[in-house]
Amino acid sequence: MTLADAQELDAGQELSRLVSGGYPDSRGRFGPYGGRFVPETLVPAITRLEAGAREALNNAEFQATLAAELRDFVGRPTPLTQAHRLSEAWGIELWLKREDVAHTGAHKINNAIGQALLAKRLGAKRVIAETGAGQHGVATAAACARLGLSCVVYMGAVDVKRQAPNVDRMKRLGATVVAVTHGDATLRAAIDEALRDWVSDPVSTYYLLGSAVGPHPYPWLVRELQAVIGEEARAQFAERTGGLPDAVVACVGGGSNAIGLFHPFLGDESVSIYGVEAGGIGMGLGEHAATIVHGTPGVLHGCYTLLLQDRHGQVQETQSVSAGLDYSAVGPEHAFLHSIGRVNYRAASDEEALSALDELCALEGILPAIETSHALAGAKQVGQENPGARVLVGLSGRGDKDMPTLIARAGGAP
């Protein structure tokens, strides 16, 4: 399907199909986006992964084991917290889905424990992963330690420096952390290196991809494992308030926490949905990581999606105070939801995100991750446009890992 074909799609029909079935089409596409663009040597591994994932997610025994791990290891369900003082300050009714209190401090553990169980089921002896802010790396290291799997985590050298606490956590959990110095030395380079590793040993190695990106079936698989966020939040909100929120907001880098929160609300026409990208320091190419707001279609890391590239198709470096949002592309399901207008994507600047972080800390006693603070800044924008709205924010992670960055920006020692 081409972009021209996509423009002729019945958006309502496509959305209904996605909501009811949840699975992309036979080619692993969400409308024109997604698919599978991988080296021939990886095709058997990808095919085996898709078959194994579909079988496992429809297997009662696997689902029972996963549910037990989410309950007893991860600490689910995570709470829904009403932010009373921040609600008053912003003129909205603000609710927070607290993934920051999940084990390892972010939503990443939902996907990591699910894929680690799948890796073991498929007979893998070794797990590799990529990480930006370090939360996926920590979650993967913890899941592998839990299940007795060897773990190697690739991380851009820039992120290794600014996310030092998480690097130490990964090592203490038994993972080998490999600093990637080529390319932009951030998340994109880390994914490049993880894919190279996987190509060299696609049989005994399992690539535990951390976001809803990459070749099919990863965008679908990660969304299915993260949808527990939205399923819980929707039920909790209805129980607490007797209805649904007016708006749901989450930060978007690759997009796993966002698609996990969004998906159970896609069929609710009364609920507006907002994804907030990293606006960085400006609107020029290389000054932000707002892929949907400013990107164009292309192929990166195995799928067709929106990405930040120049007029020659060269993928560009990004800029963000957040280590977890500075990815040059976005998950294909997000690109599709943008194309049919179901989700409103916007950007929040570094300063807007840091200001929202400070307000949540001062008024609610919660230190969010810098990634999450972009969602908070977006919620503030939504409140200014819709005073009094009931707004649900995916609080995707806690900010302990960001203290070196916050201290440095405040003028202290890094």
Q: Is 130 an active-site residue?
A: yes
Q: CA dihedral in degrees (288, 291, 294, 295; nearest 10)?
A: 130
**Which of 87, 328, 349, 396 is an active site residue?**
396
Asked if residue 128 lies in contact with residue 207, where contact means CB atoms within 8 angstroms, the answer is yes
**Which of 14, 130, 232, 352 is an active site residue?**
130
Residue whose C-alpha is closest to residue 395's, from 378, 381, 377, 375 = 375
45 contacts: CB under 8 Å, gap ≥ 6? 198, 202, 203
Buried b (16+ CB within 10 A) or exposed e, 77-99: bbebbebeebbebbebbbbbbbb
Residue whose structure tokens are 């709470």: 79
Residue whose C-alpha is closest to residue 163's, from 145, 190, 183 = 190
**Which of 50, 99, 108, 339 is an active site residue?**
108
Q: CA dihedral in degrees (119, 337, 260, 209; nearest 10)?
A: 30
Q: Tokens at residue 275, please?
A: 């994804």
Q: Is 108 an active-site residue?
A: yes
Termini Cα distance of the chain = 49
User: Among all residues, which ones are annotated catalytic?
Assistant: 108, 130, 396
